[in-house]
Chain A
Amino acid sequence: MSTATATGFKPRILVFSTNNISDPGIDLAGSRHMHYPAQVSTMNVPCSSGLKPGWILHAFEQGLDGVFIGSDGDECALLDDCGKRTGQIITQAQELMKAKGIAPQRLKMAALCSVCAEPFVGYMREFSATLTDLGPITAVAS
């Protein structure tokens, strides 16, 4: 158990979801009253391929401890190569993070389908545990 847990550190996570695919999956987790940490907040966009790497960096700069992208993957109805595009965005974001000394483990991506309630909750618990071990981002960035 890390010292961060002992001091009551609860990592704050920003999730980017997509309107038609992953956001309904995240909704479903709530509809089933499945629990994940309340420090997880979701912002939705039409498609994960439209996320700017700069927004991810901005979230870290604003003190959020982790960013998770619930991508459309193969299910994207808008772009055939959505998974590849989102992957490129992640790569670019990681370069920006590296330049700022932000640990790469603070950014995660997984394809989430419109009924992926259980996987989402699992990812959040796991990610939260990883970030708890890493400690608050202030400690990393300063």
Chain B
Amino acid sequence: MSEQPDASTSEQADAGTSEQADPGKSGDRRIGVFICHCGGNISDYVDVAKVRDALKDEPDVVVSETTLFACSDGTQQEMVAAIQEKKLDGLVVASCSPKLHQITFQGVSKRADLNPYSYTQVNVREQCSWAHTDDHEGATEKAIGLVRAGVAKTRLSTPLEPLVVKTLPKTMVVGGGVAGLRAAVGLADIGLGVVIVERASALGGWVAELGPMYPNEHSGREQIDFLIAEVAKRPSITVLTDAELVSKSGSFGNYITEVRVKGSHSQMVTAEVGTIVVATGFDTYEPEVGEFGYGIDGVVTLPEFTKLVDSSKGPLIYKGKQVRTIAYVYCVGNRQPAGGNEYCSKFCCAATVHASLKIAKRDSELRQYHLHRDIRTYGKFELMYSESRERGSVYMKFPDETPPSVAKMADGRLAVTVVDTQTGNEELTLPADLVVLVTGMVPRQNQGLTSVLKLPVGVDGFYNEIHPKLRPVETVVAGVMIAGACQSPKTLSESVASGLAAVTQSAGILLKGFAELDPLVATVDIAACAGCTDTCLASCPYDAITAVDTDGRKVAEISAAVCKGCGGCVPVCPEDAIDLLGYTDAQMRASIDSLSLVKEPVA
């Protein structure tokens, strides 16, 4: 093996002279291929020696080896040594799914001073050996094709560097409810500037309207007042009320936003921020007239009921009359059939049981019937449920397909008819003075904000995170996070926790002062661009593509910092002038060629 890195004198280059004309095939690369046994997870079904031997003859491949465990420390060190000794400029590891070890082997590349974007992970475990344990020959043939395709991709790779952008140490919090306020305090304490943008004329959101809450019976108002006082103590927090975010430009870490502040005369405020935390909360479900008797006097929603309870003392009085019997109908507006609000709002069982306990303590004679589908007082809320039953509340489970009905009786009282599954599906009619419809959360209609920030909305209407478990507050829009009940129904404590998670994410991005972005973005071949630009501009919902003048000619330009790397603009270009780095036209075609293993094209 020649030690000379110059391609023109290397063995591989000599062997591949007939293909010099085609840069994709020419012997000017030095690629190392490592095929992993994964103990036996791969090698029990794939003949890894056969794969290794097949790859040895592949142009540009100067190392083709099998390893027992590619991810082990020892093998990683051997790979680093091989890259350095053989002066490799490309690396292919055929092992497990890239979701597991792509980062591991990119790290191996970096430690060996090899550009990590010249590394390709080939999945011969999840997508080969494990799926074809019944066909060893087929699995081996397939593995050879997959590894050759990986080599083809690496052969055409170009060294890429992460995009480094400076970031502004400031965060905008949209929404001044409990999640937003707690996030703002946390952001200030971690050393970031904060702008709170609240659409209403006062901070506080829904929680400010709530009375005593489980478990320590502090009112929502008190908790909000505490947070507002904390905000006021911190000069690094600016509060804008009667304010709406109306535009966002710039790129990750350097967003320029415009906020319209209403007042005696509207004005525009410009704020430059590094990240944005969206904590716009929820709306409560508003039943249709006639839905469980809504519209009949005495039929109220959960928010109306809690207000009634928290604004009075002693036995409950409704419209001048003492309430002696209450019937609660749970899951109103939630857990609906397909196409409706299919989710559970999580807080409503606990909030209802809590409110019913408060009133039971004030009136021991009060009769309370809870008509439910399931009681979901999970975690510590369970204690309230136990106490509620001990104090005499009656819980009846009705079948999903037979919901209760509510009607007005001749004497003016309400009649609630319910099928109780726990007493042999007997139909009962309960007289009641008050019927509480336990209404859940619905996504807040925020079309303006959604389109300004390009926030992804789920099928349920709430904002979507990148990953529900591992990246719960980040969105696909880099530097824009979601917190609280704008993401999904949440309890107060869950909202606060997600607000603080957004603080950590913002700090992680902004405290370094710079950010590194994945460089696998779309690029325009200026020479090929015809300057039509309408199609590509319209194809990008992130506004990453702009029309610019270059040497007196109009061409498309893609901002690497704004581009999300989806590639949606690639197929729309009539001139084929757009490529997605890491997935270029040449790489894709060469990989297909390698996979197909066919000598003669058929069409």
**Does B associate with A?**
yes
B-binding residues in A (CB < 8 A): 10, 12, 14, 23-24, 26-31, 33-47, 49-55, 58-64, 74, 77-80, 85, 89, 92, 100-102, 137-138, 141-142
Known contacts A30-B125, A41-B142, A63-B602; is-contact A78 B568 (Cβ 8 Å): yes
Q: Which residues of B contact A142 (CB under 8 A)?
A: 602
A80 to B477 CA separation, bound complex (whole angstroms): 13
Contact of B603 with A100 in the complex, beta carbons under 8 Å: yes
Q: Which residues of B contact A10 (CB under 8 A)?
A: 138
Our pick among A35, A40, A41, A141 for the contact of B133 (Cβ within 8 Å) is A35
Kindly state whether residue B580 has any CB partner on chain A within 8 Å. Answer: yes
Contact of B583 with A33 in the complex, beta carbons under 8 Å: no
Known contacts A31-B130, A35-B134, A41-B145; is-contact A138 B568 (Cβ 8 Å): no
Q: Distance in Å from the Cβ of A66 to the closest Cβ of chain B? A: 12
Q: Which residues of B contact A36 (CB under 8 A)?
A: 131-132
Kindly state whether residue B126 has any CB partner on chain A within 8 Å. Answer: yes
Q: Distance in Å from the Cβ of B564 to the closest Cβ of chain A? A: 6
Instruction: For chain B, residues 547 to 599, give those with C-beta under 8 angstroms from any C-beta of chain A.
Output: 564-568, 570-571, 576, 580, 583, 585, 588-589, 591-593, 595-596, 598
Our pick among B459, B564, B591, B603 for the contact of A43 (Cβ within 8 Å) is B591
A sample of 8 cross-chain residue pairs with beta-carbon separation below 8 angstroms, ordered by A number, consists of: A27-B123, A28-B126, A30-B126, A33-B130, A35-B132, A35-B133, A40-B142, A41-B142
Contact of B146 with A41 in the complex, beta carbons under 8 Å: yes
Known contacts A30-B127, A30-B128; is-contact A47 B602 (Cβ 8 Å): no
Given contacts A46-B565, A52-B588, A77-B476, 13 further A-B contacts (CB under 8 A): A35-B132, A38-B138, A42-B123, A43-B149, A47-B567, A50-B566, A50-B570, A52-B571, A59-B592, A59-B596, A62-B601, A74-B459, A92-B571
Q: Distance in Å from the Cβ of A95 to the closest Cβ of chain B? A: 13
A37's closest neighbor in chain B, by CB? B138
Contact of A55 with B592 in the complex, beta carbons under 8 Å: yes
A53 to B601 CA separation, bound complex (whole angstroms): 18
**How many pairs of residues, A versus B, come closer than 8 Å at their CB atoms?**
152
Interface range on chain B (Cβ under 8 Å from partner): 35 or more
Contact of A38 with B142 in the complex, beta carbons under 8 Å: yes
Contact of B127 with A24 in the complex, beta carbons under 8 Å: no
Kindly state whether residue B103 has any CB partner on chain A within 8 Å. Answer: no
Contact of A43 with B126 in the complex, beta carbons under 8 Å: no
A85 to B535 CA separation, bound complex (whole angstroms): 13
Known contacts A46-B583, A100-B603; is-contact A89 B592 (Cβ 8 Å): no
Q: Which residues of A contact B541 (CB under 8 A)?
A: 79-80
A112 to B273 CA separation, bound complex (whole angstroms): 37
A-binding residues in B (CB < 8 A): 97-99, 123, 125-135, 138-139, 141-142, 145-146, 149, 456-457, 459, 464, 466, 476, 520, 541, 564-568, 570-571, 576, 580, 583, 585, 588-589, 591-593, 595-596, 598, 600-603
Contact of B567 with A35 in the complex, beta carbons under 8 Å: no
B594's closest neighbor in chain A, by CB? A62
Contact of B127 with A26 in the complex, beta carbons under 8 Å: yes
Our pick among B149, B585, B602 for the contact of A137 (Cβ within 8 Å) is B602
Known contacts A33-B133, A61-B602; is-contact A79 B138 (Cβ 8 Å): no
A85 to B572 CA separation, bound complex (whole angstroms): 10
Contact of A52 with B585 in the complex, beta carbons under 8 Å: yes
Interface centre among A42, A54, A142 (most CB of B within 10 A): A42
Contact of A78 with B566 in the complex, beta carbons under 8 Å: yes
Known contacts A38-B141, A43-B591, A52-B588; is-contact A27 B566 (Cβ 8 Å): no
Known contacts A27-B126, A30-B131, A33-B130; is-contact A62 B567 (Cβ 8 Å): no
Q: Which residues of A contact B600 (CB under 8 A)?
A: 63
A54 to B459 CA separation, bound complex (whole angstroms): 32
Q: Which residues of A contact B127 (CB under 8 A)?
A: 26-27, 30, 42
A30 to B133 CA separation, bound complex (whole angstroms): 9
Q: Distance in Å from the Cβ of B568 to the closest Cβ of chain A? A: 4
Contact of B571 with A89 in the complex, beta carbons under 8 Å: yes
A45 to B565 CA separation, bound complex (whole angstroms): 10
A54 to B520 CA separation, bound complex (whole angstroms): 21
Contact of B601 with A61 in the complex, beta carbons under 8 Å: yes
Q: Distance in Å from the Cβ of A11 to the closest Cβ of chain B? A: 12
Contact of A63 with B598 in the complex, beta carbons under 8 Å: yes
Q: Which residues of A contact B139 (CB under 8 A)?
A: 38
B569's closest neighbor in chain A, by CB? A50
Contact of A50 with B123 in the complex, beta carbons under 8 Å: no
Our pick among A23, A40, A60 for the contact of B602 (Cβ within 8 Å) is A60
Contact of A64 with B595 in the complex, beta carbons under 8 Å: yes
Q: Distance in Å from the Cβ of A52 to the closest Cβ of chain B? A: 5
Interface centre among B98, B142, B576 (most CB of A within 10 A): B142
A102's closest neighbor in chain B, by CB? B603
Interface centre among A33, A45, A79 (most CB of B within 10 A): A79
Q: Which residues of B contact A62 (CB under 8 A)?
A: 592-593, 596, 598, 601-602
Our pick among B145, B568, B595 for the contact of A49 (Cβ within 8 Å) is B568
Contact of B580 with A50 in the complex, beta carbons under 8 Å: yes
Known contacts A35-B132, A49-B568, A80-B456; is-contact A58 B464 (Cβ 8 Å): no
Our pick among B476, B520, B580, B596 for the contact of A64 (Cβ within 8 Å) is B596
Q: Which residues of B contact A63 (CB under 8 A)?
A: 596, 598, 600-602
Known contacts A62-B596, A64-B595; is-contact A33 B131 (Cβ 8 Å): yes
Contact of A58 with B592 in the complex, beta carbons under 8 Å: yes
Our pick among B98, B459, B595 for the contact of A41 (Cβ within 8 Å) is B595
Contact of A39 with B142 in the complex, beta carbons under 8 Å: yes
B582's closest neighbor in chain A, by CB? A46
Q: Distance in Å from the Cβ of B283 to the closest Cβ of chain A? A: 22
Q: Which residues of A contact B602 (CB under 8 A)?
A: 60-63, 137-138, 141-142
Interface centre among B131, B134, B145 (most CB of A within 10 A): B131
Q: Which residues of B contact A89 (CB under 8 A)?
A: 571
A55 to B593 CA separation, bound complex (whole angstroms): 10
Q: Which residues of A contact B580 (CB under 8 A)?
A: 45-46, 50
Interface centre among B99, B138, B146, B567 (most CB of A within 10 A): B567
A42's closest neighbor in chain B, by CB? B127
Contact of B595 with A43 in the complex, beta carbons under 8 Å: yes
Q: Which residues of A contact B596 (CB under 8 A)?
A: 12, 14, 59, 62-64
Q: Which residues of A contact B128 (CB under 8 A)?
A: 30, 38
Q: Distance in Å from the Cβ of B237 to the closest Cβ of chain A? A: 31
Contact of B571 with A50 in the complex, beta carbons under 8 Å: yes
A141 to B464 CA separation, bound complex (whole angstroms): 45
Q: Distance in Å from the Cβ of A59 to the closest Cβ of chain B? A: 5
